Amino acid sequence: MHNIRTLLLVTLVVEALAGAALLVAPAPSTALLLGVADTAPAPFVMQRLCGAALLSIALACWIAYSEGGERLGRPLIAGLLIYNVAVPAVLAYAAFAYSVSSLAIWPACALHVGLAVWGVACLRV
């Protein structure tokens, strides 16, 4: 359960899928997560930038995974803890403060809480 390589692989897949979705179809992807499809230029550009950032996370995970996991994986997982704590915090805030409601908001929160807990467990070993 505390295997760093497995966590890197799971993170790679999750973030690559989310990043590709935001780059290719930003409005439907955002609608799935936030319940709103904004196609105005500024949000549209930000959605695609977020997609590119998620793909860079996936690439970093792939490199660490390919190199054996432990040496490159531990610092990467430590950095990803910020992201995996921030995502559910921001989404939960959006849900409560702005009444954002969607099909994927709570599963996304749960996924990132799980990844954060798994990351802490990997770093403690």
Instruction: Output the pLDDT for position 2.
Output: 63
Instruction: Output the pLDDT for position 1.
Output: 43
pLDDT digits (tens, 9 = 90+) for 30-68: 999 999 888 788 988 999 999 999 999 999 999 999 998
* Residue 95 pLDDT > 70: yes
* 33 CB-near residues (< 8 Å, 6+ apart): 91, 102, 104, 105, 108
* 8 CB-near residues (< 8 Å, 6+ apart): 61, 62, 64, 65, 69, 73, 76, 77
* Residue 71 pLDDT > 90: no
Q: What DSSP line would sit under 54-76, residue for residue?
A: HHHHHHHHHHHHHTTSHHHHHHH
* Residue 125 pLDDT > 80: no
DSSP type of residue 2: -
Per-residue b/e over 74-91, b at no fewer than 16 CB within 10 Å? bebbeebbebbbebbeeb
**Residue 84 in contact with residue 115, Cβ under 8 Å?**
yes
Per-residue pLDDT, averaged over 23-36, amounts to: 94
Q: Cα dist. 52→8, 13, 35, 60, 111 in Å?
A: 18, 14, 21, 12, 20
Question: pLDDT confidence of 109, banded at 50, 70, 90?
Answer: very high
Q: Percent of the chain having pLDDT more than 90?
A: 85
**Residue 72 in contact with residue 117, Cβ under 8 Å?**
no
pTM: 0.92
